[in-house]
């Protein structure tokens, strides 16, 4: 028995037949998915090979060097993206509260309600922000406001689900004690649930804000405001400016991620 | 925080008044999309089906390829497996860098290089999947039980042997769960890739919206909703069974 086998044996039962079989099943399944996915997809090796040198030259045009004179415009666009993300997240964080409460299994005594609540949240989250943005633009006209609504609506789905899952971990006995002491359901929620879950709720909203900053950078591609508007203008037109935009996005998203993670680790 | 929100509302032109004024317009628009306004043109279904299939294919292929690429990359992006601190810092840095580029921006630029069609969309989603899965996997590996790894190291095992025999068996369920998670995001993104010319259902959605083909738009949105919802629900159900 080799040293590796020994070490292996030491930590867990030796590789069983079932485990190997499962590995093989996963591999075969992945390959089958791949084969199916590539059938009829207009993707060819030749196009990949033709595109690569073109990408390389675009890359060179964008970043060596970027057009720094475009920086003020980029900053304005980034500011608008951050504003869209902040407002959209705030709207969703508030609107998700009733959904989260309804979808939590331990608050509502009726069994059907949490199921309906969860399904509703899943349905909300199904619509991609950009599809929502397109519809809001057609109804309200182009601009960042349509972006705010798209981000706000879409985010309810994820934030509401996280809220519900967190509420479900609240100690049931404490809630029952409050109810036994004569507190109304609303009071039970206010004094039994809210104080305990609030830091985590803030943390969820901050996490969603990260994702929304990314989303708000692409809304402009369809006319819903933010830095994406500039991408739409400059792409295929002035590549060094696109380079500046990309540098701006990378720095902004990276900073927001970093700061939000710092805040969240403090909340936890 | 309130100050930030007020500043944001001013910057984006958002207000309750604007919203209240918009509501009737929105309702009127949704009315036009619904089949009660005008029956949906059922002969449009085959084209919707083809385009949706393309969306699903792009997201599935990107998930499998991106997740497969993630596995070897953890060898440089995790502290226990990287050859040294420098390689680790470089690996993590690269990972963080590609994760900051929004998927659609990437797709948009790739369209310029590779031309219109599903190829740039596929490439953008592969890069995105690779970033998400590697990041989650690397974070998991750094919290994994170090006992087996030390045993193998003590027995003279190489880095690769440590990864294959001590780490991968421990993280296999997580790896599949993260891949499914990436798939859920990919389906949604693949549905809108067409807005920048990168294939899938988004392409005809964008066209029909701009040409005011209300019934068609309603149909596309409904069909996309069903497909995304089904894949999303199945995948998150599978994930809940895994972990």
Q: Residue A143: give its domain's CATH number.
A: 1.10.3720.10
Is the CB of A30 less than 8 angstroms away from the CB of B225?
A: no
Same domain flag for A122 and A212 = yes
Domain that holds residue A27: 3-46
Q: Which residue from B minimizes the CA distance to A216?
A: B102
Is the CB of A4 less than 8 angstroms away from the CB of B64?
A: no
A64 in any annotated domain: no
Is the CB of A79 less than 8 angstroms away from the CB of B209?
A: no
Shortest alpha-carbon distance between residue A205 and chain B (Å) = 13
- Please say whether the beta carbons of B187 and B232 come within 8 A: yes
Q: Is residue A64 less than 8 Å (CB to CB) from chain B?
A: no
Least Cα distance to B166 among B178, B181, B177, B155 occurs for B155
* Number of A–B residue contacts, CB under 8 Å: 208
A57 in any annotated domain: no
Q: What is the pLDDT of residue A10?
A: 46
Same domain flag for A21 and A83 = no
Is the CB of B26 less than 8 angstroms away from the CB of A136?
A: yes
- Please say whether the beta carbons of A127 and B225 come within 8 A: yes
Provide the number of structural domains found in chain A.
Answer: 2
A65 in any annotated domain: no
- Please say whether the beta carbons of B95 and B131 come within 8 A: yes
Nearest to A43 among B53, B105, B122 (CB): B122
Contacts of residue A125, defined as CB under 8 A and 6 or more positions apart, other chains included, come to A154, A156, A157, A158, A161, B232
Same domain flag for A139 and A206 = yes
Is the CB of A51 less than 8 angstroms away from the CB of B196?
A: no
Is the CB of B7 less than 8 angstroms away from the CB of A235?
A: no
Distances from the Cα of B29 to the Cα of A222, B24, B164, B212, B218, angstroms: 18, 9, 56, 11, 10
- Please say whether the beta carbons of A10 and B151 come within 8 A: yes
Structure tokens at B193: 């890739």
Task: Return d(Cα B229, Cα B195) in angstroms, integer.
Answer: 20
Q: What is the pLDDT of residue A13?
A: 47
ipTM of the complex: 0.86
Contacts of residue A137, defined as CB under 8 A and 6 or more positions apart, other chains included, come to A143, A146, A222, A223, A224
Same domain flag for A253 and A168 = yes
Distances from the Cα of B138 to the Cα of B70, B89, B152, angstroms: 9, 13, 20
Count of alpha carbons within 13 angstroms of residue B216, beta-carbon side: 19
More confident residue, A179 or B183: B183
Nearest to B109 among A4, A58, A215 (CB): A58
Same domain flag for A98 and A230 = yes
**Chain B hits for A145, Cβ within 8 Å:** 12-14, 18
Contacts of residue B87, defined as CB under 8 A and 6 or more positions apart, other chains included, come to B76
With respect to CATH, is domain B45-242 assigned 1.10.3720.10? yes
Q: Which residue from A minimizes the CA distance to B10?
A: A83
Residue B34 backbone class (left: φ over 0; alpha: ψ -120 to 50; beta: rest)? beta
Same domain flag for A116 and A35 = no
Same domain flag for A258 and A126 = yes
Is the CB of A122 less than 8 angstroms away from the CB of B4?
A: no
Residue B41 backbone class (left: φ over 0; alpha: ψ -120 to 50; beta: rest)? beta
Q: Which residue from B minimizes the CA distance to A256?
A: B100
**Chain B hits for A214, Cβ within 8 Å:** 102
How many of the other CB atoms lie within 10 Å of CB of A223?
A: 18
Q: Spell out the per-residue pLDDT of chain A, length 268, in tens.
A: 455 555 554 444 445 566 778 888 888 999 999 999 888 788 888 889 999 999 999 999 999 999 999 999 999 999 999 999 999 999 999 999 999 988 988 777 777 888 899 899 999 999 889 999 998 998 888 999 999 999 999 999 999 999 999 998 888 888 888 888 888 878 888 888 888 899 999 999 999 999 999 999 999 999 999 999 999 999 988 999 999 999 999 999 999 999 998 988 888 7
Same domain flag for A259 and A159 = yes
Q: Is residue A139 less than 8 Å (CB to CB) from chain B?
A: yes
Same domain flag for A128 and A82 = yes
Q: Which residue has the tokens 């790739």?
A: B110
Q: Which residue has the tokens 């083809």?
A: B50
Q: Is residue A127 less than 8 Å (CB to CB) from chain B?
A: yes
pTM, 2 dp: 0.88
Same domain flag for A263 and A222 = yes
Q: What is the pLDDT of residue A205?
A: 94
How would residue B195 be classed by pLDDT, with cut points 50, 70 and 90? Answer: very high
Task: Return d(Cα B163, Cα B184) in angstroms, integer.
Answer: 27
A63 in any annotated domain: no
More confident residue, A189 or B133: B133
Is the CB of A254 less than 8 angstroms away from the CB of B166?
A: no
Same domain flag for A136 and A12 = no
Query: Per this entry, what is the length of chain B?
Result: 243
Q: Is residue A147 less than 8 Å (CB to CB) from chain B?
A: yes
Q: In chain A, which among 191-230 make CB contacts under 8 A with chain B?
A: 214-215, 217-218, 221-222, 225, 228
A54 in any annotated domain: no
Q: Is residue A183 less than 8 Å (CB to CB) from chain B?
A: no
Q: What is the pLDDT of residue A5?
A: 52
Same domain flag for A97 and A221 = yes
A59 in any annotated domain: no
pLDDT over 70, % of chain B: 100
DSSP output for B180-242:
HHHHHHHHHHHHHGGGGTSSSHHHHHHHHHHTT-HHHHHHHHHHHHHHHHHHHHHHHHHHHHH
Structure tokens at A58: 């675009």
């Amino acid at each position: 028995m080799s040293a590796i086998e020994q070490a292996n044996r030491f930590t867990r039962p030796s590789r069983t037949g079932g485990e190997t079989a499962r590995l093989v099943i996963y591999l075969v399944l992945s390959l089958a998915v791949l084969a199916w996915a590539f059938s009829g997809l207009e993707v060819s090796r030749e196009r990949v090979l033709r595109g690569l040198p073109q990408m390389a030259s675009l890359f060179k045009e964008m970043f060596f060097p970027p057009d720094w004179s475009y920086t003020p415009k980029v900053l304005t666009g980034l500011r608008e993206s951050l504003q869209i993300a902040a407002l959209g997240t705030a709207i969703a964080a508030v609107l998700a509260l009733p959904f989260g409460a309804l979808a939590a299994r331990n608050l509502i005594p009726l069994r059907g309600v949490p199921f309906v609540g969860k399904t509703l949240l899943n349905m909300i989250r199904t619509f991609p922000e950009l599809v929502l943005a397109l519809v809001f633009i057609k109804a309200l006209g182009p601009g960042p406001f349509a972006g705010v609504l798209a981000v706000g609506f879409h985010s309810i789905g994820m934030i509401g689900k996280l809220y519900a899952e967190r509420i479900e971990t609240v100690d049931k006995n404490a809630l029952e004690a409050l109810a036994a002491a004569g507190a109304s359901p609303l009071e039970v929620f206010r004094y039994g649930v809210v104080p305990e879950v609030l830091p985590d709720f803030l943390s969820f909203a901050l996490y969603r804000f990260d994702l929304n900053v990314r989303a708000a950078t692409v809304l402009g591609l369809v006319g819903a405001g933010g830095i994406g508007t500039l991408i739409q203008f400059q792409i295929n037109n002035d590549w060094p400016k696109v380079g500046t935009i990309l540098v701006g996005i990378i720095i902004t998203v990276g900073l927001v991620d970093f700061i939000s993670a710092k805040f969240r680790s403090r909340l936890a | 925080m309130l100050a930030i929100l007020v500043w944001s509302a001013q910057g984006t032109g958002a207000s309750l008044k604007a919203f209240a004024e918009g509501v009737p317009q929105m309702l009127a628009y949704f009315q036009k999309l619904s089949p009660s306004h005008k029956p949906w043109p059922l002969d449009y279904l085959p084209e919707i089906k083809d385009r949706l299939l393309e969306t699903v294919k792009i997201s599935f292929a990107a998930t499998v390829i991106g997740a497969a690429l993630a596995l070897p990359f953890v060898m440089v992006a995790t502290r226990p497996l990287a050859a040294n601190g420098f390689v680790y810092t470089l690996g993590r840095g690269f990972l963080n860098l590609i994760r900051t580029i929004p998927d659609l921006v990437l797709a948009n630029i790739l369209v310029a290089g590779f031309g219109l069609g599903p190829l740039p969309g596929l490439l953008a989603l592969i890069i995105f999947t690779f970033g998400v899965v590697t990041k989650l996997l690397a974070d998991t590996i750094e919290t994994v039980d170090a006992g087996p790894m030390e045993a193998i190291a003590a027995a003279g095992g190489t880095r690769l042997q440590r990864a294959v025999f001590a780490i991968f068996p421990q993280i296999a369920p997580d790896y599949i769960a993260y891949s499914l998670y990436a798939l859920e995001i990919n389906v949604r993104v693949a549905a809108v890739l067409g807005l920048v010319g990168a294939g899938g259902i988004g392409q005809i959605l964008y066209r029909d919206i701009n040409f005011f083909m209300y019934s068609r738009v309603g149909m596309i949105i409904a069909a996309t909703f069903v497909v995304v919802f089904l894949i999303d629900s199945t995948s998150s159900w599978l994930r809940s069974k895994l972990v």
